[in-house]
Structure 1
Amino acid sequence: MNKKPKLINILSERLRPSLVDVERKYLESCELGDEDFVRNLLNSGRVSPDLEDTQGRTALDLAIASGHVSLVEFLVGKVGPKVIHQGLLCAVENDREEICQILLENSIYQSPLQSKDNANEYSSIEGITNPNSDKMSEIFEDDLSARSKLTQVSEISVNKMLKEALIKAAIRNNFQIVQMIMMKGASVDIPHDYFCSCHECIEEQRRDYMVFCNRRLDTFRALASPAYISLTEEDPVMASFYLSKKFKQLQVMETEYKSTYEELDAQVQEFTLDLLNQCRTSGEVQSLLDSPETEKSSSDSFPILQVALRMEQKRFVSHPKCQAQVSAVWFSGLKGMRHLNRFEFLLLSIPVGMLLLPILSLVFILAPWSKVTLLLNTPSTRFLSYTCSYISFLCLIVLGKIQFSNMWVSLGCEETNPVSYVFIVIIFMWIIGWIWEEMKQLFDQGAADYFRSVWNVIDFLMLTFLLTSFTLDAVIPLRLRSALAYHQLNYNVSAGKEITINQLLFCYEVEEGKSYFSVEHQCPTATVGVEWTPTWVPDPELIADIMFSAGIILSIARISFIMPANETFGTMLVSFRRTFGDLVKLLAMFVLILLSFSCGLAALYAAHVCQTPHFQGFSGVFFVLIWSLLGFGEGNTPELNQSAPMSSITNNPSRIALTEWFGKAIYGVYVFAASVVLMNLLIAVMSNTFQEVQDERDIEWKFARTELWMTFIEPGCPVAPPFNIIPTAQTICKAWRKIWSLCVCCRKRKLKINKKSKKLDEEMTISSSYTNSRQSVICALIQRYIVHASREKMEGDEDASEDRIRRLIELTGSRLEKRLDEITGHVQHVDDHVSHVDKGERDIQQLQREEMKRTDLLLKAQDEYKEILLKKWEEWQRFREQRLQEVKSMREQRERLLQQRMFEEARRLEEAISDTLEEANYIPRTTLR
């Protein structure tokens, strides 16, 4: 019985109350933009301006969504502050720039400082004019203190509202609205660190952790917005790089929002690519790749690109415009070096370089001002020089350690071949040259950036191992020689013949041309008279061999640094590094399985150590399982030798079969889990990684190639080791100038300091002008990007606005149906009047026909009159011709009278001629014409 009232109460709580007809018409009119109807309703007071529909939308929200600007201006003066702020958020979500500007000019978004100043002004005036100024001043002081507190609260609320609107506008990526809100003084603060333990973060997490996380995500979305980055950051590219790095770190820490941070990372990376796309000239690309703190004369080349490499912005680095700029620098001066992009040309150029580059390096050392400097100082030539020098170094150390190993032993002999000294000195010079090169790189980059590169770590270990090995190889014979000089040893060389040894036996020749080494096998023919006895001290010769083995492995592996020069080998190198990383990730699972099964089998076979040659202790089991993982295990490994004794307390022979059965089961499970499952899992992961690299092989290869190129584009010594440790003539001249500058007088020193200060001022001026030019380029790129993004947004919003247009059409159609009934009544009324109009039309047509008849009669009369005039004209024309003929005859007669000297008759005849001409000209010739 109580179920129905309870259900009604639940529905009344969860559903909004329905609207009456007037309220529904009011909201529909606001959505359709019927301003007159809305004004009449609000002025009559029949509806509230803050009315909401069943979805929680106010009339202002509906007018804003429909874009009725004039109606919004009217409603803003009627609704409350809460509705205005809700309307601003609605305008931001619907990208209504003009409406946002109208709402932001409202008083609720104005700073209260101005009203505070007005209050102070008012209080001072009242204190002067009022006779009770002391009391009034006290009252106003109390009032101002209260107002100051309210001002602080209102400032916080205004900033909070503007910040909320700014975050929504930034997420929408609307440049105009973001600019409007930021002009009000709003900004987005960077969220605190994920592990921040300040009072504010702890309080927000305690209050509602989900709200805290959502607000944090929205803030990061706003910070990653291209609109916000473009309008707030001086260098948007660097800001995007740091945001991308931040998002990569947050992906690891906040794994529950990993996909969100991945999207934000892709968004900021896409923004940097769009800025690159807006570059139209190589100068703009170069300005974008230069740091604002660097000058054109700086030693760093493309500092922004260096940062992109460190932060692994692969898409930015591999962009065609960025690659074109780097390629232009790489092949500057030597366009023909582009053939080295093909690996076969690179391999062919290495032998030629090994022959020519030493000669060119010596020429550079002796004459650094020659044209050889321009040739050697190009990045591509430096790369070729480095490669040739490194390969020559590898050949040298391999020959010196393996093929001519007796060369090091000969240092302990009384007579050593001078060629050995030359060979050893060259090796040490080469090693010192490489060490000097790495020291300069470490000094320029810093320890953090230097050891971040895997190649630098390999170089450091390689040089450490090789230097230690060759140093021990050179020191050990010399130390043994000095030790044998104090200890006389006798040795039986041949039958009954003893000799005194005061040097190494390797140096002593028994017979003519024979030593203690056989020519065929290079093995000693007799036991050496020196033995390393302290076993607790490491053998230095063994240490030297171990160090050389590790060093030569790293050295030969280091040759792969030239692989990114070719697309195929560069992609293979990237795939190898990525798949090796997958192996390291799965290594923990391998180790876990190895430890678990090793402990189990070691405990199972602890009483049968004497009966098995394989599972003897934990270390024995561990190595057996490792070899079986690699495919070197045997199926009978868990079997026991029953004839051997058993170290068991109970000494039960029947447990051997059970132990073998259980051991085979454990061993089989291990082989299945490790070899079948984990190995196939590793293969699958590696295949997936390899496919990812292949899908983006162009990006991966260009990124790896740029890393290689930038190491040689950076300024450095043009010559490779060992020639880099030889001081050039230019270096000597610089050193002499520095020494000479220390000996000059104080006055000259002051003049020089003044010159240096002037030079620094000029450099600062150049730097500021260069920074300004870079900022102008960035501003131009931002403006182009804004236009491009706005155009794309307009094109993309066409499909999104179809639903809204369809909804408005439906609402308009329902409104038109109501109007159709009224129009039908007006049509009936018009039909009644149509009959009267038809009667009047017939009367008008009769009048028109009578008028046409009169017009025809008038036209006939005009034609007859025209014929009469033509006849008259012809008569007058004949009359004139007759008169002209008479004038002609009278003129001839007058000529005859003048010849007869009858002047009186001629004069009278002339008067008659003039009268006749007047009669002829009197005819109205223009009457018809």
Structure 2
Amino acid sequence: MKGTISRQKLISDSADDVDPKRNLEDPIDRPLSQIEKTFLLSAERGDCPTVKRILERYKASPEEFDINCVDPLNRSALVSAIENENIDLLKLLLEENILVKDALLHAIKEEYVEAVEVLLLWEEEHHNSGEPYSWERVDRSSSAFTADITPLILAAHKNNYEIIKILLDRGATLPIPHDVRCGCDECVHSNSQDSLRHSQSRINAYRALTSPSLIALSSSDPLLTAFELSRDLRRLSRLETEFRAEYNEMRAIVQDFATALVDHSRTSYELEVILNYDPDGEMWHPGERQTLERLKLAIKYNQKQFIAHPSVQQLLAAIWYEGLPGFRRKSMMAQLLSVAKLGMMFPVYCSIYMIAPKSQMGLFMKKPFVKFICHSMSYAFFLTLLGAASQRIEILALELFGTDWVQDMVKEWQRKERGAFFGIAECGVILYVISLVWAEIRALWNDGLEEYISDLWNIVDFITNMFYVIWFALRTAAWFLAWYEEKFRGGDPWYPREMWDSFEPMLISEGAFAAGMIFSFLKLVHIFSVNPHLGPLQISLGRMIIDIVKFFFIYSLVLFAFGCGMNQLLWYYAELEKNKCYVLPNGLPDFDNNDKACTIWRRYANLFETSQSLFWASFGLVDLVSFELTGIKGFTRFWALLMFGSYSVINIIVLLNMLIAMMSNSYQIISERSDTEWKFARSRLWISYFDDGDTLPPPFNIMPAPKLFLRTIGVHRKIESTQSFKERSRLTVKQRHEDIMKLLVRRYVTAEQRKRDDFGVTEDDVMEIRQDISSLRFELINILHTNGMKTPQVNLSDVNVSGKKGKEMERRILKDFHIGIVENLFSDIKLGQVEPKNVFGQIAKAIGKRKTTKKKDWNALVKKGSLKSDPIGTKQEAENQVMRRQSLRGHILTNVTTPVNLEDDKLLEYNPKLSEVPRGARVAYAKFMTKKLQVDFAKDVEIEGGTTEEVKDDQKDSAKLEKKASQDSVRKLNNLADAAKRESVKKQDQVVVNVESKEEVSLMDAKIEEPEPKKESLTDQDFDKDDSKVEGDGFSYRVLEESTSSEPHSQCLSPVMETDDSKSEDRQSPIPQDEIPIMSPSPTDDHSIDIEPPPQEDQRPSFIASGTSKLSGQKRTGWI
């Protein structure tokens, strides 16, 4: 528990802001010494003997060699050994107590099982309870992994079965992520501190949980786990839309895993066991009626790929056609005849089932396909009744076949139509509606509200039944009102339809009946989903409804906006047209004389009528004549026509074509997976007929049957007699399911491992072979040398050691490759930027001094701000960049506002020549130059921040100040030089200290040389303007431009040695040729290692230069 708390605290601490100013001790930014480069390259090549000799030689010299040094890509020698799969080197480094850091995570990332086992054992031996683990102590700003990544999470990400099993066997656990809406203190604190890291940690946790190997190893019911994870990921994709793609990808992984498990089932028995298992519900045994509880759960969780699997579909089809042997092998005509026979006999089957449900005919009625045919034929009969009621079939029959007396009765019925009672067909419809409503109530009670509304067809049935209920209620109210008026008021309620009120109950009931009938006929689409030809088409059309809803939202918005505008513009003139129409007595319209006015006044009478007019305009049913209103003015008519034209362009041309494009695109997407969608919809329909309930179709389902009483008595007796047997049976069912799942998981894991092994030769295999050959080469050289044989020398620049990637890595180490930005690559171009001006100050200047306006030279500004075209650059510039990165002076200028506290060791680290100077002189000199650089930097900033006029006005004062500062600097440095000479006399070593000014070279990177023979001083006449060199005795000094922004005009002198080709070639090698290489020690030296080359006086250049200061004009000497 303490370890968990420490880990959580470490993760919390990693969220703190990281100081952007890098410490000088950062191993990434610190330059590598020659021995460290040799060490890293030997580790990269797998040269264990050389690595071992370096460790033995420099173990006691931490100031010269750091075993934890890293390459430019932040890889230590331990990580290189892991990536190259060199277990011997890995064990050697661990024995030498190298910092492990996140090496375990790197081993898991590389899927190097042997290294994982070694590092886990090391972690177990060296970890103290209550302290963070090695990978938790890594600085997260430079780590390759986030703070929430643990070994088990990373292994699950890689889906490596073997590593996951090793970790699980050791007792590793995986934290379950909190709910996305969790409001606990931990989630609230984490989300408030860093919401991005909080979301990414949840994604990493779910990506681990969705690993097929982890599910197979840790779950006793992998199918249930996969289904629940799929449901959670679907919900997360809706809540966190920013990471929807990641969640959908993980959801596809778990769905593929569940489908793969079913794919490995070999017999119907195995498939039936896993599909009928229900740990909490009814127990299933082989030979009984299948419950398919796990399959129903898959449908509930929307596992379409699992349901559409061929094995599952084959099992469902076998259950669906049970009781009709050979039906699927019949011809289409024979199948149609069988279906028609079953349909015509459905009243007989229903009657027999009600009387004798356990008889042969009653059991045949319970078969899924027979039940479906009976329900379908019953619904078809209901549609027939609806059609007969809508066509008033009773009146039509009596008019055709009735006598005169019957004809008179028909006319009387038609006269009393306002409050007429229900007809024969309508009575049949009422009976069906009651039975349909009862069936929906039973479904809602059995399934629950959530599952009931999840099926859209249940919602359609609810709306349809509501329309029929409204129809029945209003028809009854109309009959009662007519009967009441006639019996109790003595009035005549029977008058023609044209004289009825607009909201007559009879009219509203007819509208409700018409709407219900439309929905009833459309439900046939759901029944046709079982057909392999109409089913996919119906699924595609259903999925495009979403596009239609999106379109109508924007369409309605545009329609409402233009409706409001046009109604506000034309309502007055529509009112004039209405007054022109209604001129007859009693307020009746005059259609004979004012047909136009009576037609167009409604178009713009109110907002509702205006919106209707615009809607019908989409279908071309509104013309421009509707804008010729009485009294309308020219501008108003023009503005209204302009608005109508804009509406036509937006809604008719743009939006309608966009809807067509959307539906075409959706249909193309859906058609590609229409087979899966159709099989899922068909399976849902099939499953609804597999249950024992709702065997009788409407209207037989509302009739009382003896079965109800027998079931009540039988259920209680069965519960009392089988209660003691259930527990033993449940254990048997659970054990049977676990045995089958173990078989499926074993087959799945075996197949996945074979897939991994079936891959051809990869790049990793080739690199592994190269590494083995390289290691063998160095081992042979070491063995031969140990036995006194003559062995070749292996240079670090040997190109035959490794491949392309290995040479890239070695080149980066040798060249001091650094990951970062190139300073001052781009200059700021301020061509059109105008700074705020002081108006009154400009007026005052204009009064005091007349100034001519000079045209701005845009070409010069562009040329000044442009980059010099150089497609490849120069080698010298690359070396300068390396020198600038290693410069203490550059660090001081970059952090000029921060106090610099440099220790004596740091000065020696950046300038080893300072070791020849006494410690007091080094510290005093460093403090003085730090202060001087900060003062110079402040002056440069002040000069650069001023305007051009201010610089010109203060030019003379600046020259005086600069001259005075230069004289003071020379005087102070002469005193320091004298002090250094006095100290060096005690050591019998004369040291000459030459200090160069700020404009020439960095004084913090100064070098101290032993006295050389006096040579001619360099003057300004020695500069070659074309080559930008300073010629001297035996050496040439090239003028280099500084790139630091704080010194825009500074230059430095870099010594360029003039040597012959042979010496130049020797200098290019990382290890000088006259030095004994580490890889091939001399037999007489007993494995001694010389890292630094012996000093060579004939090749040492003179670093004493003299010149004239540009600012002060005085001669100066300095260290270069």
TM superposition score normalised by structure 1: 0.68
Assess, with a 3 A threshold, how the Cα gap between structure 1 residues 28 and 281 changes in structure 2: closer, same or farther: farther
Assess, with a 3 A threshold, how the Cα gap between structure 1 residues 179 and 817 changes in structure 2: closer, same or farther: closer
For 2:96, the aligned partner's letter is K
Q: Which residue of structure 1 lines up, in the alignment, with residue 754 of structure 2?
A: 791
Residue in structure 2 matching 1:362, options 351, 354, 359: 351
Alignment check: 8 A CA contact 2:149 2:204 kept: no
Assess, with a 3 A threshold, how the Cα gap between structure 1 residues 194 and 263 changes in structure 2: closer, same or farther: same
Alignment check: 8 A CA contact 1:341 1:566 kept: no
Residue in structure 2 matching 1:673, options 624, 633, 650: 650
Residue in structure 1 matching 2:737, options 770, 774, 777: 774
Assess, with a 3 A threshold, how the Cα gap between structure 1 residues 315 and 55 changes in structure 2: closer, same or farther: same
Alignment check: 8 A CA contact 1:301 1:714 kept: yes
For 1:777, the aligned partner's letter is I
Distance 1:254 1:736 in 2: 53
Residue in structure 1 matching 2:550, options 579, 582, 585: 585
Residue 803 of structure 1, CA deviation: 6.8
Residue in structure 1 matching 2:309, options 306, 312, 319: 319
Q: Which residue of structure 1 lines up, in the alignment, with residue 990 of structure 2?
A: none
Assess, with a 3 A threshold, how the Cα gap between structure 1 residues 621 and 182 changes in structure 2: closer, same or farther: same
Q: Which residue of structure 1 lines up, in the alignment, with residue 942 of structure 2?
A: none
What per-residue deviation string (whole Å, max 9, x for no partner) do you get for residues 353-396 of structure 1?
34211112222222222211232111111111110010011112
Assess, with a 3 A threshold, how the Cα gap between structure 1 residues 431 and 640 changes in structure 2: closer, same or farther: closer
Residue 435 of structure 1, CA deviation: 2.6
Distance 1:199 1:10 in 2: 35
Q: Which has the larger radius of gyration?
A: 1
Mapped pair 1:291 → 2:309: no
Q: Which residue of structure 2 lines up, in the alignment, with residue 563 of structure 1?
A: 528
Alignment check: 8 A CA contact 1:382 1:712 kept: yes
Residue 532 of structure 1, CA deviation: 7.6
For 1:545, the aligned partner's letter is E
Alignment check: 8 A CA contact 2:226 2:254 kept: yes
Alignment check: 8 A CA contact 1:379 1:713 kept: yes
Alignment check: 8 A CA contact 2:152 2:164 kept: yes
Q: Which residue of structure 2 lines up, in the alignment, with residue 77 of structure 1?
A: 95
Distance 1:398 1:426 in 2: 12
Q: Which residue of structure 2 lines up, in the alignment, with residue 26 of structure 1?
A: 39
For 1:706, the aligned partner's letter is S
Residue 464 of structure 1, CA deviation: 3.0
Partner SS for 1:296:
coil
Alignment check: 8 A CA contact 2:471 2:510 kept: yes
Q: Which residue of structure 1 lines up, in the alignment, with residue 68 of structure 2?
A: 50
For 2:611, the aligned partner's letter is F
Q: How does 1:205-284 map to 2 (within 5 A)?
A: 205-284=191-270
Distance 1:108 1:802 in 2: 31
Q: Which structure features the higher share of helix residues?
A: 1
Mapped pair 1:374 → 2:363: yes
Q: Which residue of structure 1 lines up, in the alignment, with residue 107 of structure 2?
A: 91
Residue 55 of structure 1, CA deviation: 2.0
Residue in structure 2 matching 1:686, options 663, 674, 682: 663
Residue 482 of structure 1, CA deviation: 6.1
Partner SS for 1:801:
helix
Mapped pair 1:100 → 2:116: yes
Q: Which residue of structure 2 lines up, in the alignment, with residue 387 of structure 1?
A: 376
Structure 2 unaligned segments of length 5 or more: list them: 1-21, 60-64, 139-145, 399-408, 578-599, 793-1120
Alignment check: 8 A CA contact 1:597 1:666 kept: yes
What per-residue deviation string (whole Å, max 9, x for no partner) do you get for residues 403-457 of structure 1?
246699999999xxxx999766654443333233222222211111112211111
Alignment check: 8 A CA contact 2:108 2:163 kept: yes
Alignment check: 8 A CA contact 1:174 1:227 kept: yes
Alignment check: 8 A CA contact 1:605 1:615 kept: yes
Q: Which deviates the most, 205-214 or 237-246?
A: 205-214
CA RMSD of aligned residues (A): 4.2
Assess, with a 3 A threshold, how the Cα gap between structure 1 residues 608 and 462 changes in structure 2: closer, same or farther: closer
Q: Which residue of structure 1 lines up, in the alignment, with residue 189 of structure 2?
A: 203
Distance 2:389 2:557 in 1: 44
Assess, with a 3 A threshold, how the Cα gap between structure 1 residues 729 and 111 changes in structure 2: closer, same or farther: farther
Residue 168 of structure 1, CA deviation: 0.9
Distance 2:624 2:525 in 1: 40
What per-residue deviation string (whole Å, max 9, x for no partner) do you get for residues 201-229 of structure 1?
34334444443333232222112211222
What per-residue deviation string (whole Å, max 9, x for no partner) do you get for residues 894-916 of structure 1?
xxxxxxxxxxxxxxxxxxxxxxx
Q: Which residue of structure 2 lines up, in the alignment, with residue 399 of structure 1?
A: 388
Assess, with a 3 A threshold, how the Cα gap between structure 1 residues 527 and 328 changes in structure 2: closer, same or farther: closer
Assess, with a 3 A threshold, how the Cα gap between structure 1 residues 336 and 95 changes in structure 2: closer, same or farther: same
Distance 1:378 1:474 in 2: 40
Assess, with a 3 A threshold, how the Cα gap between structure 1 residues 155 and 472 changes in structure 2: closer, same or farther: farther
For 1:292, the aligned partner's letter is P
For 1:451, the aligned partner's letter is I
Residue 820 of structure 1, CA deviation: 14
- Alignment length (residue pairs): 713
Assess, with a 3 A threshold, how the Cα gap between structure 1 residues 461 and 336 changes in structure 2: closer, same or farther: farther
Distance 1:208 1:576 in 2: 44
Assess, with a 3 A threshold, how the Cα gap between structure 1 residues 187 and 302 changes in structure 2: closer, same or farther: same
Q: Which residue of structure 2 lines up, in the alignment, with residue 62 of structure 1?
A: 80
Residue in structure 2 matching 1:541, options 499, 502, 506: 506
What per-residue deviation string (whole Å, max 9, x for no partner) do you get for residues 618-660 of structure 1?
33321221111233232444x334xx336xxxxxxxxx22333
Q: Which residue of structure 2 lines up, in the alignment, with residue 189 of structure 1?
A: 175
Distance 2:566 2:245 in 1: 43
Residue in structure 2 matching 1:173, options 143, 146, 159: 159
Assess, with a 3 A threshold, how the Cα gap between structure 1 residues 291 and 85 changes in structure 2: closer, same or farther: farther
Residue 486 of structure 1, CA deviation: 3.9
For 2:703, the aligned partner's letter is I
Alignment check: 8 A CA contact 1:26 1:38 kept: yes
Residue 255 of structure 1, CA deviation: 2.8
Alignment check: 8 A CA contact 1:64 1:99 kept: yes
Alignment check: 8 A CA contact 1:579 1:689 kept: yes
Q: Which deviates the most, 787-796 or 362-371?
A: 787-796
Distance 1:608 1:14 in 2: 85
For 2:244, the aligned partner's letter is K
Q: Which deviates the most, 627-636 or 582-591?
A: 627-636
Distance 1:570 1:756 in 2: 43
Distance 1:594 1:478 in 2: 42
Distance 2:414 2:648 in 1: 54
Distance 1:264 1:606 in 2: 58
Alignment check: 8 A CA contact 1:243 1:265 kept: yes
Mapped pair 1:627 → 2:643: no
Residue 687 of structure 1, CA deviation: 0.6
Alignment check: 8 A CA contact 1:30 1:38 kept: yes
Assess, with a 3 A threshold, how the Cα gap between structure 1 residues 816 and 103 changes in structure 2: closer, same or farther: closer
Residue 527 of structure 1, CA deviation: 5.3
Alignment check: 8 A CA contact 1:601 1:666 kept: yes
Distance 2:730 2:265 in 1: 22
What per-residue deviation string (whole Å, max 9, x for no partner) do you get for residues 702-755 of structure 1?
1111111111112224332222233444434445678xx9xxxxxxxxxx7xx9
Alignment check: 8 A CA contact 1:173 1:225 kept: yes
TM superposition score normalised by structure 2: 0.57
Q: Which residue of structure 1 lines up, in the alignment, with residue 728 of structure 2?
A: 765
Residue 304 of structure 1, CA deviation: 2.4
Assess, with a 3 A threshold, how the Cα gap between structure 1 residues 364 and 252 changes in structure 2: closer, same or farther: closer
For 2:284, the aligned partner's letter is K
Residue 309 of structure 1, CA deviation: 1.9
For 1:361, the aligned partner's letter is C
